[in-house]
Homo-oligomer: A and B are copies of this chain.
């Protein structure tokens, strides 16, 4: 019968085509549900052909993710360079990370749940690029510390961990496909928390709290009531909202 042999393509082109298909299949099905047989079929080749170009399924995912990640980070530095001020830059980093996750949850799930737990992860360029990525955060904080804008008594790594860990924890539910989140709102809140937490106290703000409350009892009371009111409103409105993790 007509042994429908496929066209012979140059190495580069065939690799590109396989990776393109693989990216889609991985994204849609997740790593373990994605079958090499399906990738091969959709790419119009036979299973064995994939192994001519990639040592295995894992390596294929790694290559796919690496390519995606380089695309993501392409114009990153450019955007960051334009921004002025610690707060704006910090917010951009956080917002950016949140937005990447929001825009391509499938790919991020692969990175968080699969790639990052493999032993190969460390020799991946994804690992290197991520380090580079988070190094910017450390730099910004460092510079703010040197300028006296931020306190110097907290380890920088902790700050970075709370930012990136916080972002990921916040997006879990969304990544499981069970809810949504707002990159803008989350970035605002996280930036605020970090900024306030690190801000060096101004000289005139060093008054003991007790004296301050004495000086303005009415305002302090109002402040308290306002807080209570907000809380009650939130809990009343939250009853219908989807449950958090």
Chain A residues within 8 Å of B, Cβ to Cβ:
109, 113, 117, 122, 127, 130-131, 134, 142, 145-148, 150-155, 157-170, 176, 178, 185-186, 189-190, 192-209, 212-213, 215-216, 218-236, 238-239, 241-245
Given A165-B169, A190-B162, A198-B193, check contact A215 B204 (CB 8 Å): yes
- Smallest beta-carbon distance A46→chain B, Å: 27
What CA separation (Å) do A208 and B154 show in the bound complex? 24
* Chain B nearest Cβ from A108, distance in angstroms: 12
- Interchain CB contact under 8 A, A165 and B154: no
Please judge, given known A-B contacts A170-B158, A218-B222, A241-B245, whether A231 and B152 are in contact too, CB under 8 Å: yes
Given the known interface contacts A228-B229, A228-B233, A238-B245, the answer about A162 and B159 at a Cβ–Cβ threshold of 8 Å is: no
Contact indicator B203/A202 (Cβ below 8 Å): no
Would you call B148 and A220 a contact (CB within 8 A)? yes
Measured CB to CB, the nearest residue on chain B to A145 is: B227
